[in-house]
Structure formats: C-alpha cells, structure tokens
Amino acid sequence: MPITRSDPPVRRRINRAPSPLLAHSLPWLTILLGSLVPGWLLIASAPVLPPVGFLLFIAWRQLRPGLLPIWSGLPLGLFDDLYSGQPFGSAVLLWSLAAIVLEFVEARVPWRNFLTEWLLAIGLIVTYIVLCLGLNNLAGAGAPLRIILPQIVISILSYPLVGRFVAVVDRIRLTPIVVLR
C-alpha cells in the first residue's frame, strides 16, 4: 500500500521509534547495492541478468511514492553508470525519465493494484532495456535486438520478487529500534 513520507505507518512500540538514519538511508543503499550485485554474480557471455538497480529503483518508487525524490535518478544513475558498462550517462538519463513518468502516472491513476503496478513496471523495464541497447548501438556496438529478449523476460518475471524484497527491507527500515527518552 503506497504511503507518503508525511504519514508513515510507524509501528511504534512503547518507548521505541524507528531509526531516522536507517529509515532514510536503506532505500538508497539497496539501490546502490542492486547496481553492483549483478556484475559479481557471474561472468556473463550474454546479457542475462536483470538490471537489478533499476528494478529496485522502480519498486521503491512504487511502494513509497515520494520517499525517493524525483531527482534521485541523478545520483543513483551516476553510480550505476560507473559499473553497468553502458555509455556513461545513460542510467542518469533513463532513470530520471522513469522517475518523472512514474510521478505523472501516480498523479493520474491513484487507484492501483498488483497487476496495474506490474504492467506499468513492465512497460518501464522493456523501454529501459531497449533504450539501453539503442544507446549502446549509437556508441557503435551494433548488437541485434534478439540478444536482449532473454533479459527482458527474466527482468519482467523477477520484478514481483524484487517488489517483495523491497517490502521486506521496508519493514526493516521502519522497525522501532531507537529507545525514546
């Protein structure tokens, strides 16, 4: 259930409150880690792993609209570009665009369910992967469209899992651990 920053569902046990540091840093940290992890998992001969950083970025914005500011695509994208192998700046551009699109859709379509969120994410993911290939080809790679088909399928199917992961991290984020005086 999307809830804005102004009214988080704080599970306030007696004399306990969530740590503000954890609550604000965890979304950023998970996305940064998501940009790094696919590279470590295997030395791939073809694009096979989903762009985990981007999936986490969408999932966080869908679960908690407004938690990550619209401009968050700039710093997070810069970090992703350092490791993704894409032409530098492609993630900054595409993540910022995705954030703006999500913001618009959220304002126009307030009532949502699992399916509509997944469909919107599918649209964004497919566009993102295709545009990444397009930018690579502009840089001279000349790769055909068919090589990204497996990656698109894997990314679409793994998005609900990423969403579950984000939900778990969100619970950890808002666990009341700081003792109030």
Partner 1 sequence: MAPPANRRSGFSRRAQYSTFLSYTAGVVGVVVGLGLVVTSLARPEAFAGVRSVATDATEPVGQATAAGRSYGRDVFASVAGFFTSGREHARLKRELAEAKVRLVEAQAIEAENRRLKRLLALKDAEPDAVAFARLTRSTSASSRRFAIVDAGRDEGVTKGMPVRSATGLVGRILEVGATSARVLLITDTESLVPVRRATDGVPAFAQGHGDGTIRVRLINLGINPLKKGDVMVSSGSGGLYRPGTPMAVVTEILRDGAIARVLSNPSNTDFVMVEPVWGPSEPPPSAKPDDDEGD
Site for partner 1 in 123-162 (CB under 8 A): 132-133, 135-136, 138-144, 146-148, 151
Strands 16-18 and 176-179: antiparallel
Buried residues in 130-152 as b, exposed as e (16+ CB within 10 A): eebbebbeeeeeeeeeeebeebb
Q: Which of 96, 127, 158, 175 binds partner 1 (CB under 8 A)?
A: 96
Q: Is 97 helix (H, G, I), strand (E, B) or coil?
A: helix
Q: Is 13 helix (H, G, I), strand (E, B) or coil?
A: coil
In whole angstroms, the minimum distance from the beta carbon of 82 to partner 1 comes to 4
In whole angstroms, the minimum distance from the beta carbon of 134 to partner 1 comes to 10
| Sequential DSSP letters for 130-154 | HHHHHHHHHTT----GGGGHHHHHH
Q: Which residues contact 158 (CB under 8 A, 6 or more apart)?
A: 50, 55
Residue type, 164: R
Which CB atom, from 37 or from 178, has the smaller least distance to partner 1?
37
Which segment (9-17, 23-31, 61-69, 167-175) binds partner 1 by CB under 8 A?
61-69
Which segment (17-25, 96-104, 118-126, 168-176) binds partner 1 by CB under 8 A?
96-104
Tracing tokens 């949502």 back to the chain, one arrives at 112
Number of residues that bind partner 1 (CB under 8 A): 71
Asked if 122 touches partner 1 (CB under 8 A), the answer is no
Scan residues 7-36 and list those touching partner 1 (CB under 8 A): 7, 36
Which CB atom, from 104 or from 177, has the smaller least distance to partner 1?
104
Which CB atom, from 29 or from 177, has the smaller least distance to partner 1?
29
